[in-house]
Amino acid sequence: MGKFIVEKSEPLNGVVEISGSKNAVLPIMAAALLAHGSCEIMEAPVLRDVDVMCKLLSSIGSKVKTKYENNSIEILTDNVIAEEAPYELVKKMRASILVMGPLIARTGKAKIALPGGCAIGARPIALHLKGLRALGAEVKEGHGYVEAKADKLVGSNIYLDFPSVGATENIMMAAVLAEGVTILENAAQEPEIVDLANFLNKMGAKIKGAGTDTIKIEGVSELHGTKHTVIPDRIETGTFMVAAAITRGNILIKNVVSDHVKPVIAKLKECGVKVEDSDEGIRIIGNIRPLIATDIKTLPYPGFPTDMQSQFMSLLATVKGSSVVIENVFENRYMHIGELNRMGANIKIEGRSAVIQGENILQGTQVVSTDLRAGAALVLAGLIAEGTTEISDIYHIERGYSDFVEKFRSLGAKIVRIED
């Protein structure tokens, strides 16, 4: 097990290049199961979650070649030998559930270990199953697994009670080979949904409306292989934007799609951060003026992303004034608050809201990372806390951020990784 040791650092300065999106590459890798032929995915981030997905696809029967020199992954699924995602892989990565839709579409069968909950919530999959049943799959749950089978999938009209990202992805990946047309309403609109739809359309699918709340999928008989470059990771982008703000630094972030981080840019500007968007990338200047408080409500895209809530809270703990943060997407995404308060922050949870009295001087101490983004938030707090902050359970962070320490050190952050 490793730990990060973070010392109070100078304002971050320099240039950082964003990697491919974790939450785009995982569904795209699952979608490669649908192709008769080889798929090459470029700019794939080097992450533990990507390694787990490679193992899962190999166990299903794909030949997976990772050429990390140019961050590409080649996936060839000649024949599926096991329509199963075993528990030992699913427990490492909930996103394993995303092979369910492609497996049913390709083979008519799928047996997936139930992903179970995690630190941020119960993470149910009822909407995934509702959509697959609507397409004609017979779905049974029992003994910690969900089993689905379908002789034929038939297009249907499906309304999602909540614009679930995973459910939208699973249903889309099943519907592309269904007979007839599927209309998915109240669909998730995240950029990762658009990237997946673009990948599927390159494979021969007929998807319209991805990125809006209504997606129309016209089933086709077969999909072929293709090449695709994954979009940059908007949450990694946001994390480095907040890093520049919290250290009152000045950094240029390259390989970004500024449209994908509009809500984060808007909130940083409300705090008094200067944001310069150019062809080179996005420059974040945190030392133009004293930063002030603002309020945050997390919402499905294009609202403020839940995956940026904890990182932004670290910033709000250090600026003048009081802020209110409301987490509307997950039911238990305040685990980082206890750890931030141990560092001297003044944050109170009141129902679904968190009230932050800012401007405290944070002090370094031992803290634990409870989930991927909470861990990142603690690193950000450690960069400006007096003294040393020791962050344990960093496997959460390394699941979702590639070259995390190297990128921060290149900007002047005092952070090292140690084995404990």
| Min dist. Cβ of residue 162 to ligand EPZ (A) | 5
Catalytic residue chosen out of the listed positions 39, 54, 118, 271: 118
Write out the E strands in 94-204: 109-113, 138-142, 145-149, 157-159, 181-185
> What is the nearest approach in angstroms of ligand EPZ to the Cβ of residue 106?
21
Q: Kindly tell me which of 377 and 415 has the beta carbon lying closer to ligand EPZ.
A: 377
Tell me the two tokens of residue 77: 């699924």
If the CB atoms of residues 328 and 346 are measured against ligand EPZ, the closer one turns out to be 328
Nearest distance, CB of residue 161 and ligand EPZ, angstroms: 7
C-beta of 124 vs 344, nearer to ligand EPZ = 124
Output the smallest distance, CB 314 to ligand EPZ, in A.
15
Specify the residue, 239 or 247, whose C-beta has the smaller distance to ligand EPZ. 239
Closer Cβ to ligand EPZ, 48 or 123, answer by number: 123
Q: Which of 243, 237, 232, 256 is nearest to 411 (CA)?
A: 243
Residues that bind ligand EPZ (CB under 6 A): 22-23, 26, 95, 121, 123-128, 162, 164-167, 188, 306-307, 329-330, 372-373, 400
CA dist 88 and 100 (Å) reads 16
Report the alpha-carbon distance of residue 411 to residue 232 in Å, rounded.
19
Residue at shortest CB range from ligand EPZ: 166
Q: Which helix (H) or strand (E) holds 237?
A: helix 234-246
Distance CA 258, CA 232 (A): 10
**At 28, which helix (H) or strand (E)?**
helix 22-31
Annotation says 118 is catalytic: yes
Helix (H, G, I), strand (E, B) or coil at 128: helix
Write out the E strands in 202-317.
206-208, 214-218, 223-224, 227-229, 250-254, 274-278, 281-285, 296-297
Least CB distance from residue 174 to ligand EPZ, whole Å? 14
For the chain, the maximum distance between any two Cα atoms, rounded to a whole number of angstroms, is 63
CB of 321 to ligand EPZ, least distance (A): 27
CA-based nearest residue to 334, from 345, 349, 344, 323: 349
Which CB sits closer to ligand EPZ, 329 or 368?
A: 329
Nearest to 382 by CA among 405, 406, 357, 364: 364
Question: Which residues carry out catalysis?
Answer: 118
